[in-house]
A and B are shown apart, each in its own frame.
Chain A
Amino acid sequence: MTGVGLRRLTIVFGLLVLLTYFWFQSKSLDPALLERMYRPLNAFELHDAELNRDVLLARAGLLNHYDTLASIGAELADAVKTLQQQSATVPAEAGKHLDQSLTALTTALRQKTAQLEYFKSDNALLHNSLAYVIYISHRLHRRAAEAGHSALVAELGTLTNALLRFMETPEDAVGDEIKALLARLPTTPKFRQDLQSLAVHGRYIVAALPQMDALIRELITAPTTAEARVLQHTLLRYHHQLEARARLFRLLLYIAAVALLGYLSYVFWRLQANSRNLRAANEALEQEIEERRRTEAALRESEERYMLAMQGANEGLWDWLVEPDRVHVSEHACRLLGLDPASSTFTGDAWQTAIHPDDRQRFRETLRSHLRGDSEFFQCEIRIMKPNQEVGWAFIRGLGLRDENGRIYRMAGSIGDITARKHLEQQTRQQELQLIQANKMTTLGTLISGVAHEVNNPNQLVLTNVRLLREAWAGAVAILDAHQQVHGEFALAGLPYAEMREAVPVLMQDMHEGALRIERIINNLRDFARPSPPGFRAEFDINDAVQHGLRLLTYLIRKKTSQFRIDLAPGLPPVRGDPQQLEQVVVNLVTNALEALPEPSRGVTVSTRFDPAVPGVVLTVEDEGIGIPPEHLARLCDPFFTTKQASGGTGLGLAISSSLVHAHGGGLTFASSPAQGTRAVVTLRQAATTG
């Protein structure tokens, strides 16, 4: 800003200096100087003309006396002297030419003055002689006439005539004639003196008159006038040169003035534009301030509204800067997480201490998954260890801001208290259990009643009969032993009696056991049908539960597939929960798998394995069935969702299974590809004894 101002100031100052310089240069030649030169020069020319005129007047005898000539000469000399004095004040370059002209003029004047002196002298004498010859010739004429000297009278007449002609035109011929006349004048003693005088003056006139005329011509044509003109021209030229230069500088002056004016106008215009811009900027700024104030008010209002909404929604806020690993946690969120509300900033690890130890791993997994970009949003339900050892539930949601490399550098989101919801969910689960009960009543209840009725009676018959047959065999053995003793070896039912004697009791025992087993199965069915008390917790082996479940389905399995595989991993850690409920899950899943098989050649595999990632066990039921359309996959666990309405499906099987699994803190997921098969995976955490 100051740089610009300094530059403008310099330009203006420079233009002013230039202006001043031009102004000084544009001054015309000092008029007084020219005047001082012209005045004596004009006077000189005037007096020179006057002198010429007076010379002619003097020649004609019309000038009274020579004082006028003398005074004119003095004035001419004065004029030249003044010119010389003034020329000393003329600047050098012009002064040189002036001096030359002036010197020439001075010389011319000196010569003319000298000639003027001669003229005065000669003119005085000539006039005397002219007057005298007229006078003397007239007197001689008179005297000669009186004396009767006619020859002299005639001669004098001729002489007078010649003299008058000579005076009129001083030609050489006339002069010679006069001289001849004078020479032959008679030398009469009586007139000798007058004749001599006449001759002397006559000869003087003949000699002096032409000289006189020549002198006058020289005087009149003296170079004074010409030199004065030259001087005048020199002065004029010099004046014109200076004037032209002054005019040029006047033009420059004008241009500089216009430039200055233009520049000042420009600066003024800029100033105005600047002030206008400034005003506009000021207005814009005020407007912006006003807008910002409004925006801030709106923002504050919005924030307040948001905070209010958040508080109303029982939501807290968190904001995680990845790089310095700082998490800003709102006051509400702090309270929610059981953190000290006084400090609002924590490291990433610190605030995770609020998370229930069982959920930390899952929380980190979910977070990592979002950081990797696997999930669009980060959301996770966690349990919170409140300071009073209560366990609360929180739902954390968030979204990461990614840099150009796709790396998340900041994440923010909300945290909501969902403890109440979780309680509600538990209530819902109670209702689900009732539903399950109802389901049991509808499915197992009828089955069990059927089995109890249809199976138990024949089975009792078998049991009774086996006992009878055993006793019968005991009696028969003695007879048959005897027979062998008697008859030796013999065949019984295609086998040698010796073998049969040992085998039959075993067969009998097997039959008895089988019947007993049937009886047990029926009891199991009754157990299954009978609802387990809620919240029952026991540690058990998942494989037992699987086997129990499958045992219930033996008939169905055999009917539906020839490729039923069981792959149970040994030494699995126990899980905690209700074994009967899990049996029901197995029954449901396997039933579904079996029913999905289009033909018996297709297989079903039931497997268990240990998954250290959970950590816990994984139960997989995999069929080679028709598969599930993708649009149904997500709704599989919805209650009363069924595709088997026609074949008596209640739509409760998988819903119950899912709720049961979840009740055990596990997960039930399905994966299916149409015509390839479906895989149901149950994940169960191992019992918490290991932490």
Chain B
Amino acid sequence: MTEKALPDRWFSARQSRRAVALVLGWSLIANLGAASAPLGPATAASQSAEVAPETQQPFAPLPFTTDENPAKVALGERLFQDVRLSRDDTLACLTCHQLAEGGDDGLSRSMTARGIALARNVPTVFNVAFNASFNWDGGVPSLEVQAEGVLLNAQVMNNTWPELIAKLGADPDYAAAFRALYPEGLSPANLVDALVSFERSLITPNARFDRYLRGEHRALSAEELEGYELFKGYGCASCHQGINVGGNLFQKFGIFQDPDTSRSPAEQADLGRFEVTRVARDREVFRVPSLRNVALTAPYFHDGRTRSLKEAVATMARVQLGRRLSPQDVDLIVRFLHTLTGEFRGRPLTVPAQESP
């Protein structure tokens, strides 16, 4: 951020937000006063969307491109697919983050080559550039730390930097590529940088919902729009908001109900963020995940407890909102959630064959 740019941006941001606050304020009062909408306050807001449809929404469309250095992205992609990043040449980043699918591995909990099950469900690598925190517990503050953590994690890549640098440095292609991009050539920081550059480039723009947000009202069907309104009206959008439809805050899993009623008392609950902060109120608190491409990222929740999106929606409504949704409403919301599937490298991501909503 340059000094010169700061006031301008600050000014413009303040101006635009003041306008938004005004409009939202009026709509809220009108909503509370009339209380006539069957599905909640957001309905009224959507109806007055003619004024400024883009800014009133608690969402924002993904950009079509990123400004990552293409050369670094290309190098990062090579690394991303390279099993030599793991000590025993068994795992690549791609192993768990299948780019042809939802950016994850489709498993509840991934298994390493040595048969070790990872603690939690693998989150998608798509659109990580727009997440405010990473992993289920927010334990890593940045993608760089996440990447290094995975590489050096004894249960995952199980590598050490000297070994890894030596191994990759032996490859003249890598050595030349790094030298071309970085003054100091291949180094841990540069390797991570290249990887993260690639990760940040993994965006899935132009979902139908994004097109809707950009003003293309016909992008969503009537049912999907109804689902969208329900999504907001029930309060899902209180947490799943922002450009990534989630991914920017933490929430306790199970506000109004214990989500683990079926769990035997002997089974230890996953304490979530508490493991990171050691603060009591962070018990069973997890990062609210992004819902972009959610139709492709089953199984769901930190433990991948269900492959059914409907079940996941119902569970969320029950334990987080203290509501019981009718199957119709669940169905409508799921329809809406399918509009969040974007395109990767110009091609729409597809629902895996085994998916059965």
Question: Which A residues form the contact surface with B (CB < 8 A)?
Answer: 39, 42-43, 46, 50, 57, 60-67, 69-71, 73-75, 77-78, 114, 117-118, 120-121, 124-125, 127-128, 131-132, 134-135, 138, 193, 197, 200-201, 204
B184 at the interface (CB under 8 A from A): no
Q: CA–CA, A70 to B250, complex, Å?
A: 12
In contact, B41 and A131 (Cβ under 8 angstroms): yes
**For the complex of A and B, 7 pairs with smallest distance between CB atoms:** A70-B132, A128-B235, A62-B21, A65-B241, A124-B238, A65-B242, A67-B242
Residues 1-52 (chain B) with a chain A CB within 8 angstroms: 1, 3, 6, 10, 13, 17, 20-21, 24-25, 28, 32, 35, 40-41
Q: In this assembly, does B55 line the interface, its C-beta being within 8 Å of a C-beta of chain A?
A: yes
Please determine whether A60 and B25 come into contact, CB atoms closer than 8 angstroms. Answer: yes
CA distance A134 to B244 in the complex (A): 29
Per-position binary interface string of chain B over residues 280-293, scored 1 when its CB falls under 8 Å from any chain A CB and 0 otherwise: 01000100000000
Query: Judging by beta carbons under 8 Å apart, are B235 and A61 in contact?
Result: no
Question: Is B279 located at the chain interface by the 8 A CB criterion?
Answer: yes
Of B97-105, B163-171, B251-259, the one with at least 4 CB within 8 A of chain A: B251-259
When the two chains form their complex, are residues B243 and A197 in contact, meaning their CB atoms are under 8 A apart? no
Q: Which residues of B contact A197 (CB under 8 A)?
A: 322-323
Q: Is B248 part of the binding interface, using a Cβ–Cβ cutoff of 8 Å?
A: yes
Residues of B within 8 A of A70 (CB): 132, 242, 248-249
Chain A residues with Cβ below 8 Å from B21 are: 57, 60, 62
Do B322 and A67 touch across chains, with their CB atoms under 8 A apart?
no
Instruction: Given the known inter-chain contacts A57-B17, A66-B249, please indicate yes or no for A131 contacting B235, CB distance below 8 A.
Output: yes
Do residues B60 and A67 form an inter-chain contact, with CB atoms below 8 A? Answer: yes
Is the beta-carbon distance between B242 and A43 smaller than 8 angstroms? no
Q: Please name all residues of chain B whose beta carbon is closer than 8 Å to the beta carbon of A61 when the two chains form the complex.
A: 24-25, 28
Bound-state Cα–Cα, A438 to B155, Å:
177
What B residues does A60 contact at CB under 8 A? Answer: 21, 25
- Name 6 extra pairs, CB < 8 A, besides A64-B241, A70-B249: A65-B243, A67-B130, A67-B132, A75-B1, A118-B281, A135-B35
Does A117 contact B249, Cβ atoms closer than 8 Å? yes
12 contacts between A and B (CB under 8 A): A43-B1, A60-B25, A64-B57, A65-B243, A70-B132, A71-B132, A114-B277, A121-B285, A128-B235, A132-B40, A200-B322, A201-B322
CB distance from A205 to the nearest CB of B (A): 12
Q: Given A67-B60, A121-B285, are A134 and B6 neighbors across the interface (CB < 8 Å)?
A: no
- Looking at the assembled complex, report how far the CB atom of B155 sits from the nearest CB atom of chain A, in whole angstroms: 27
Assess whether A135 is in contact with B17, with CB atoms less than 8 Å apart: no
Tell me the complex Cα distance, A311–B21, Å: 139
A78 and chain B: residue at smallest CB distance: B1
**B248 touching A65 by the CB < 8 A rule?**
yes
Interface residues of chain B, those whose CB is within 8 Å of chain A, are: 1, 3, 6, 10, 13, 17, 20-21, 24-25, 28, 32, 35, 40-41, 55-60, 130, 132, 138, 141, 235, 238-239, 241-244, 248-252, 255-256, 277, 279, 281, 285, 321-324
Which residues on B sit within 8 Å (CB–CB) of A128? 235, 238, 321
Minimum CB–CB distance for B14 against chain A, Å: 8
- Chain B residues with CB under 8 Å of A71's CB are 132
Chain B nearest CB from A130 CB (Å) reads 9
What distance in Å separates the Cβ of B194 from its nearest Cβ neighbour in chain A? 21
A120 — nearest CB in chain B belongs to which residue?
A: B249
B132 close to A73 (CB less than 8 A): yes
Which residue of chain B is the closest to A82 with respect to CB atoms?
B1
A125 cross-chain contacts in B, Cβ below 8 A? 238, 251, 255
Question: In the complex the two chains form, is B251's CB within 8 Å of A65's CB?
Answer: no
Q: A132–B132 contact, CB under 8 A? A: no
| Cβ contact within 8 Å between B1 and A65 | no
The answer to whether A43 and B6 have CB atoms under 8 Å apart is yes
Across the two chains, which residue of chain A brings its CB closest to B251?
A121
For the complex, what is the distance from the CA of A74 to the CA of B243, rounded to whole Å?
A: 16
Q: Is the CB of B252 within 8 A of A121?
A: yes
Which chain B residue lies CB-closest to A124? B238
A125 to B319, CA, bound (A): 12
Cβ-defined contact, A135 with B256, below 8 A: no
Whole-angstrom CA separation of A67 from B281 in the bound complex:
23
A120 CA to B241 CA, complexed, in Å: 11
List chain B residues, Cβ under 8 A from A114. 277, 279
In whole angstroms, what is the CA distance A22 to B350 when docked? 73
State in angstroms the CA–CA spacing of A290 and B41 once bound together. Answer: 124
**Known contacts A62-B25, A114-B277, A200-B256: does B251 contact A67 (CB below 8 Å)?**
no
A66 and B251 contacting across the interface, CB-CB below 8 Å = no
Contacts of B41 in A (CB 8 A): 131, 135
Interchain nearest-CB distance for B99 vs A (Å): 25
Chain A residues lying within 8 Å of B132, measured Cβ to Cβ, are: 66-67, 70-71, 73-74
Contact B256 A127 (CB under 8 A): no
What residues on A are CB-neighbors of B255 within 8 Å? 125, 204
Most buried by A among B59, B60, B251: B251
Residues of A near B57 (CB, < 8 A) are 64
The distance from the CB of A535 to the nearest CB of chain B, in whole angstroms, is 142
Q: Tell whether, in the assembled complex, residue B58 and residue A65 are in contact, meaning their CB atoms are under 8 Å apart.
A: yes
Q: Are B35 and A134 in contact (CB under 8 A)?
A: yes
Q: Which of B10, B40, B242 has a CB less than 8 Å from the CB of A66?
A: B242
Give the chain B neighbours of A204 by CB distance below 8 A. Answer: 255-256, 322
| Measured CA separation A73–B20 after assembly (Å) | 21
Q: Of the candidates A39, A42, A118, A131, which one forms a contact with B40 in the assembled complex, judged by CB atoms under 8 Å apart?
A: A131
Query: In the complex, how many angstroms separate the beta carbon of B294 from the nearest chain A beta carbon?
Result: 17
Bound CA span A593–B273, Å: 169
A65 touches B60 (CB 8 A): yes
Bound complex: CA A67 to CA B20 (Å): 15
Whole-angstrom distance between the alpha carbons of A468 and B133 in the complex? Answer: 205
Contact B235 A64 (CB under 8 A): no
Q: Are B242 and A132 in contact (CB under 8 A)?
A: no
Contacts of B249 in A (CB 8 A): 66, 70, 117, 120-121, 124
The reply to whether A62 and B24 form a contact with Cβ atoms under 8 Å apart is yes
Most chain A CB within a 10 A radius of its CB, from B25, B141, B256: B256
Q: Which residues of A contact B279 (CB under 8 A)?
A: 114
- In the complex, chain B residues whose CB is within 8 Å of the CB of A117: 138, 249-250
Of all chain A residues, which has the CB nearest B245? Answer: A65
Whether A124 pairs with B239 at a CB distance below 8 angstroms is yes
Q: How far does the Cβ of A263 sit from chain B's closest Cβ, in whole Å?
A: 47
A65 to B35, CA, bound (A): 23
* CB nearest to B7 among chain A residues: A46
Contacting pair B20 A62 (CB below 8 A): yes
- Would you give the shortest CB distance from A326 to chain B, in whole angstroms? 101
Contact of B58 among A39, A46, A64, A118 (CB under 8 A): A64
Task: Establish whether residues A39 and B3, one from each chain, have CB atoms under 8 Å apart when the complex forms.
Answer: yes
CB distance from A207 to the nearest CB of B (A): 12
Q: How far is the CB of A59 from chain B (nearest CB, A)?
A: 12
Residue of B nearest to A118 (CB): B281
Q: Among the interface residues B58, B132, B285, which one has the most CB atoms of the partner chain A within 10 A?
A: B132
Assess the A66–B32 pair: CB atoms within 8 A: no
Closest chain A residue to B10, Cβ basis? A46
The contact of B243 among A50, A57, A67, by CB within 8 Å, is A67
Question: What residues on B are CB-neighbors of A73 within 8 Å?
Answer: 132
Q: How far is the CA of A196 from the CA of B285 in the complex (A)?
A: 25
Report the minimum CB–CB distance from A238 to chain B (whole Å): 21
Which residues on the A side are within 8 Å of B138 (C-beta)?
117
Q: How far is the CA of A354 from the CA of B122 in the complex (A)?
A: 149
A127 x B235 contact (CB < 8 A) = yes
Residues of chain B within 8 A (CB-CB) of A42 are 3
- Using CB atoms, name the residue of chain A closest to B255: A125
- Best-surrounded residue of A77, A120, A134 (most CB of chain B within 10 A): A120
Q: Tell me, rounded to whole Å, the shortest Cβ–Cβ distance linking B78 to chain A.
A: 29
Most central of B130, B241, B252, B324 by chain A CB within 10 Å: B241
Measured CB to CB, the closest approach of chain A to B65, in angstroms, equals 19
User: What's the least CB distance linking B158 to chain A, in Å?
Assistant: 30
B285 / chain A contacts, CB cutoff of 8 Å: 121
Bound CA span A78–B6, Å: 14
A65 and B246 CA atoms in complex are apart in Å by 9
Report how far A201 CA is from B256 CA in the complex, Å: 9
User: Do the beta carbons of B58 and A50 come within 8 Å of each other?
Assistant: no
Which residues of B lie under 8 Å from residue A200 when comparing CB positions?
256, 322
